Amino acid sequence: MARWGLTARIVLASGLLALIVGGAFAVLLVALDEERDASDLARHSEEVLVAANGLERLVIDLETGERGFVLTGDGRFLEPWTAAQAALPDATSELERLGRVPRQHARAEEIAAAIDSYLHDYSLPVVEAARRGDPSASTVATAEEGRRRVDALRADFDKLRATERSLAATREDRAKAATRRAIVAAASGLAGSVLLILFVGGYLDRAIVVPVRRAAAMAGRLAGGDLSVRMPETGVGEIGQLERSFNTMAGSLQESRAELTASRTRIVAAGDEARRRIERDLHDGTQQRLVSLGLELRAAEAMVPPSADDLRDQLANAANGLAGAVEDLQELSRGIHPAILSRGGLGAAIKSLARRSSVPTEVDVRLDHRLPEPVEVAAYYVVSEALTNTAKHARASLIRVDVNDPDGMVRLAVTDNGVGGADPDHGSGLVGLRDRVEAVGGRIKISSPPGGGTSLVVTMPVDGV
């Protein structure tokens, strides 16, 4: 009953807190939504004013260009007139589009019609008359007519701007009111939440925190490396469950560390044994044979008669090349490391493996820097073993290798379209891959449903290796 009483109180307090915070948050959201709408409308008003000012400037360009040409006959005055005439359709369309309020939209249409009338009924005829040398183009009556039309257009623009400014002021008032409501809602919700949290916090400190402190002390010993630590399972309810979970976690960590230690031991032992075997085979076999061949070439070079200089040079070049190969082999036997991996990095090494694979292999390596050497070596051998296993067992027609390093982790994926059915718990090759990957702190996941191909995904940390 004590357990259920504690749970019921926590649920009740959480429900009250959720109601307070949820209500305040709902009011806050509504207020913020209103403020956002008002801000959008204010921004729209600014766009309308900008469009109106731009359109009015075009009308002024029409008037000044036309008037300058009529008075002086200089064709240069028609350049701004022509440019304004070309820009008018887009400008008037933009102003009409921005007129969301019906009254403003209607006024924008009236302005557009008045501009069109001014252009076609007055400006164009006057310019044509001036071009023909017609004296009527420069009469006072004609000038007064143009001034009247332009003044009427400016009055329309002033009305449109005044109306838009009035709308903007109204929208600003709405935004301020919404902001005030949001502040009140946030303050009320915060005050209520703080009071409720203080009350519930005092209760939880007495009922839960004190017992949890004891668990924290044991967790500190566990974090310090003492994986054998266990808590006495004397608590009831949630505290008892915490104690049991703690002990289960400690046992799992102890088993994991033992498995990790054994895994890394196997990797080191296998690596050392392989290095010893390869170095012995190279030194006692291939290297000695190459040295013998070099000596034979030197002997043959010495036996060449003086008249055969070309043959002597060829034998000398062959002997020198063989000596270089012996030196490379000696260097390899000392390091036992894929040479192409050292020189060109993981991308070049994987592409080399793909070229040698008997199954067509696509490679996509997206790395813009070199990785730590242990990670490169592990990734190289993972790909090598995966390609070998696929060629032997998968009966696949295509393999794909993808490598990238998002967020400080190297992700390596090898997939094929073979028969699947690979068992990651059997086979020394897969066990060796898991050991090699875990030795650098990585994880390996193999998915191989029967008939669905095989997918091998490896993730390894880059930092701290």
**Residue 458 forms beta bridges with which residues?**
412, 444
Looking up tokens 């009071």 gives 195
- The type of residue at 134 is D
Residue 206 is assigned to a structural domain of this protein = no
Please indicate, yes or no, whether residues 130 and 16 belong to a single structural domain of this protein: yes
Please indicate, yes or no, whether residues 445 and 320 belong to a single structural domain of this protein: no
CA dist 1 and 243 (Å) reads: 20
Residue 215 is assigned to a structural domain of this protein = no
Please indicate, yes or no, whether residues 324 and 380 belong to a single structural domain of this protein: no
CA dist 33 and 181 (Å) reads: 12
Please indicate, yes or no, whether residues 379 and 298 belong to a single structural domain of this protein: no
Angle at 434 between CA 430 and CA 440, to 5 degrees: 150
Please indicate, yes or no, whether residues 298 and 396 belong to a single structural domain of this protein: no
Is the CB of residue 20 less than 8 Å from the CB of residue 193? yes
Given 276, 303, 335, which residue is the final one in a domain? Answer: 335
Please indicate, yes or no, whether residues 331 and 358 belong to a single structural domain of this protein: no
Query: How many domains does one find in the chain?
Result: 3
Specify the pLDDT at position 365.
92
What is the value of pTM for the model shown? Answer: 0.40
Residue 48 is assigned to a structural domain of this protein = yes
pLDDT along the chain (465 residues), means of 10: 56 77 72 70 78 85 84 84 86 82 80 85 85 81 83 84 80 75 76 79 68 76 78 68 79 76 58 58 67 76 76 76 70 56 84 90 90 86 88 90 88 92 67 78 88 91 73
Does an H or E element contain 447, and which?
strand 443-447
Residue 67 is assigned to a structural domain of this protein = yes
Q: Which domain does 299 fall in, by range?
A: 294-335
Query: What tokens were used for 233?
Result: 């399972």
Is the CB of residue 394 less than 8 Å from the CB of residue 430? no
Residue 247 is assigned to a structural domain of this protein = no
Residue 256 is assigned to a structural domain of this protein = no
Given 148, 179, 200, which residue is the final one in a domain? Answer: 200
Distance of CA 283 to the CA centre of its chain: 50
Q: What is the CATH number of the domain that holds 352?
A: 3.30.565.10
